[in-house]
Structure 1
Amino acid sequence: MSESFGSKVKNTAKKIVRIILITALIAGIIIFSFMYWGVYDEGVRAGTVLRISKKGIIFKTYEGQLNLQTFGALKGVNPIAEAFDFSVESSNEQVLKDLETVALSGERVNLHYVKRYATFPWRGETMYFITKVERPEH
């Protein structure tokens, strides 16, 4: 009788461990999915693209920098240069082409972006990803 009780305890313990492992795996997948695809912020930044480059040793990612011009409240004061670092997903070929064009021309553009919750080495160095390049009409 004690053997059957012992085997029942072992089976119950195995089931509990299995349930805990499956729950942890599902929770991990949900958290990873949220951090990878979730969008924290969306917006537009205007300025001139200083650079767009492909970087990395193992994972090659596209990184860029936008020069924002913040103007002071006083007339005649020089604008303070502020930089906005961003990444571009390699699958977004049209955005990469547009960024290269405006980086060479030096024209002022509006960059539409999304901010993700986390960075991943194969995706980009920043949490900001450009989704669209808008060239304002003059």
Structure 2
Amino acid sequence: MENQSFGVRAKSTAKKVLRVFLITLVVVGIAVFSFYYWGVYDEGVRAGMVLRLSKKGMIFKTYEGQLNLQTFGALRGANPIMESFDFSVEKSNEQVIKDLEEAALTGERVNLHYVKRYATFPWRGDTKYFITKVERLDK
């Protein structure tokens, strides 16, 4: 009878340990996902002209764009070197999307305020850079 009682207690203890382990694993998983999803690695501003803004994707439609950063060579009279900055815009940020579309059509210079996230997710965008504000300079 004591052996059966010991076996029942061992099974009960094993179930409790497994339950605690699984709960801990889920909580740690949620914390890591939250960190990568909402965590901001870098914030800044880039200036240039918007080359394109498009809505892309087969399953998840995301807004992707490209900014032309004109940098000038160290030599006098050198032509500007074309350098680009790829970025994404969250769907919920409708005013930023509208401002970027207008800037792309007019060819005006803009300052783009951005945040860089730790990871990319397919439903959010192709890049880690997300535009949060557009300053139109040539209005």
Report the TM-score when normalising by structure 2. 0.97
One-letter amino acid matched to 1:29 = I
- Measure, in 2, the Cα distance between the counterparts of 1:27 and 1:69: 44
Offset of 1:52 from its aligned partner?
0.2
> Following TM superposition, by how much is the alpha carbon of 1:72 offset from its aligned partner in structure 2, in angstroms?
1.3
What residue is the counterpart of 2:20 in the other structure? 19
Q: Which residue of 1 aligns with 2:37?
A: 36
Kindly report which structure 2 residues correspond to 1:39-118, keeping only aligned pairs within 5 A, or say none. Answer: 39-118=40-119
Could you report, residue by residue, the CA deviation over 1:17-73 in whole angstroms, capped at 9, with x for unpaired residues?
100000000000000001000000000000000000000000000000000011111
Structure 2 distance, partners of 1:69, 1:79, is 6
Structure 1-normalised TM-score? 0.98
Partner residue in 1 for 2:131: 130
- Counterpart-to-counterpart distance in 2, 1:105 and 1:81: 19
Whether the 8 Å CA contact 2:109–2:138 is kept in 1: the answer is no
2:62·2:90 contact (CA, 8 Å) conserved in 1? yes
CA-atom RMSD, angstroms?
Answer: 1.0
Amino acid at match of 1:50: L
SS of the counterpart of 1:75? coil
**In structure 2, C-alpha distance between the alignment counterparts of 1:39 and 1:32, rounded to whole Å:** 13
Q: Distance in 1 between matches of 2:106 and 2:36?
A: 35
Percent of matched pairs sharing the same residue: 75
Please give the secondary structure, in 2, of the residue aligned with 1:57.
coil
**Residues in 1 aligned to 2:51 and 2:105: alpha-carbon distance in whole angstroms:** 9
Distance in 2 (CA, whole Å) between partners of 1:48 and 1:58 is 29
Distance (whole Å) between structure 2 residues aligned to residue 111 and residue 98 of structure 1: 10
Say which SS state the counterpart of residue 74 (structure 2) adopts.
coil
Shift of 1:137: 5.7
